[in-house]
Structure formats: structure tokens, C-alpha cells
């Protein structure tokens, strides 16, 4: 939902789902990834990407036929382990010194619980949305040519 142009050649859109839903207002919601993949086991070699955007489902519960579940998907009962594996995979496929952009909505799970699932430290973040529940958090993978300022 965040992309200006999902067909932009500079980006690769991946999701575990490839599906279509008819919404109650008659609109059609399509989830059409370029690559069907599981973020817990990404099908790419180490250090492939200069930027990774990790936007996993943030829902631990939603009605079986709900609009929210159709649009965002739902986490498994092992969501803590899943998200930890997702972070590890994102950093694995990221080149050293490059950036991971992480998006999380803390309506059901607080962002501090999610950040505890990775040993990496974020550089900065931003809250957005009407109730400021959506967090955009930026990490930089260590091992590059980081510059440290101050003492």
C-alpha cells in the first residue's frame, strides 16, 4: 500500500500471498507480488540488496472474513519467532552499510515488543497516521563504512 508505483523497476515486491478479494463496497483488493516468498526464508543470496523494506502483517487477531485480514494478512501463533526470523533474513540479504526500512502498526502489538526481537539498533524513526500508531523505523546494517560523530 505504500508504493507510489508497484511496477517501478527499482523495486521488487514480494509477499507470501497472491490473492484477490471482493470488498463489501464492490472494490477489488488484489495482492499480486512479483515474487511469492516467505520473509522467514528469503530466496536471495547474502548481501543482495541496497535497501530492504520489511512490512509484515501487524495483526495477531482479525475476523476470518474481515477487510483487515484480507488487506494486511495475519500473523501466526508463533509471531515472535516469525518476526525475529524476518529481521534476521532482511539483514542477511542486505548489503553492509545499507538500509532496512521497517514499518509497524502497534494497534495490537507495541513497537517495543517488536524491536526486542532483533539485536540491531534502529537509527531513527517516525510515527504516522491519525493516532500515530504506524511507525517507520530505519536501520543501517553494520559492516559498511559507517561514520560516527561525537564522542
Report strand pairing: 35-36 vs 49-54: unpaired
Average pLDDT, integer, range 108-134: 93
Contact 140, 123 (CB under 8 A): yes
Pairing outcome for strands 49-54 and 94-105: parallel
36-53: per-residue pLDDT in tens? 999 999 999 999 999 999
- Structurally, the chain folds into a number of domains equal to 1
For the chain, give the mean pLDDT.
87
Residue 57 lies in a domain: yes
Maximum separation of any 2 CA atoms in the chain, in Å: 58
**What digits encode the pLDDT tens for the residues 64-104?**
777 677 777 788 899 999 999 999 999 999 999 999 999 99
Q: Does residue 19 belong to any structural domain of this protein?
A: no
Query: How many other C-beta atoms can be found within 10 angstroms of the C-beta atom of residue 43?
Result: 11
Enclosing domain of residue 52: 44-140
Q: What is the CATH number of the domain that holds 129?
A: 3.40.50.150
In the predicted model, is pLDDT for residue 111 greater than 70? yes
Do the domain assignments include residue 24? no
**53 with 13: CB under 8 angstroms?**
no
61 assigned to some structural domain:
yes
Task: Tell me whether residue 60 is in a domain.
Answer: yes
37 is a domain residue: no
Domain membership flag for residue 92: yes
Q: What are the distances in angstroms from CA 34 to CA 6, 47, 149?
A: 9, 20, 40
Q: Does any domain span residue 30?
A: no
For residues 96 and 142, the answer to whether their CB atoms sit within 8 Å is yes
Amino acid at each position: 500500500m505504500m508504493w507510489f508505483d508497484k511496477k517501478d523497476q527499482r523495486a521488487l515486491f514480494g509477499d507470501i500471498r497472491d490473492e484477490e478479494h471482493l470488498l463489501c463496497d464492490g472494490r477489488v483488493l488484489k495482492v499480486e507480488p512479483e515474487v511469492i516468498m516467505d520473509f522467514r526464508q528469503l530466496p536471495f543470496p547474502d548481501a543482495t540488496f541496497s535497501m530492504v523494506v520489511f512490512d509484515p502483517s501487524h495483526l495477531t487477531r482479525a475476523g476470518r472474513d474481515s477487510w483487515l485480514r484480507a488487506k494486511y494478512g495475519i500473523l501466526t501463533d508463533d509471531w515472535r519467532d516469525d518476526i525475529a526470523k524476518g529481521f534476521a533474513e532482511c539483514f542477511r540479504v542486505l548489503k553492509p552499510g545499507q538500509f532496512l526500512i521497517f514499518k509497524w502498526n502497534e494497534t495490537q502489538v507495541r513497537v517495543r515488543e517488536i524491536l526486542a526481537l532483533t539485536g540491531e539498533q534502529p537509527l531513527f524513526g517516525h510515527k504516522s497516521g491519525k493516532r500515530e500508531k504506524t511507525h517507520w523505523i530505519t536501520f543501517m546494517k553494520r559492516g559498511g563504512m559507517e561514520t560516527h560523530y561525537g564522542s
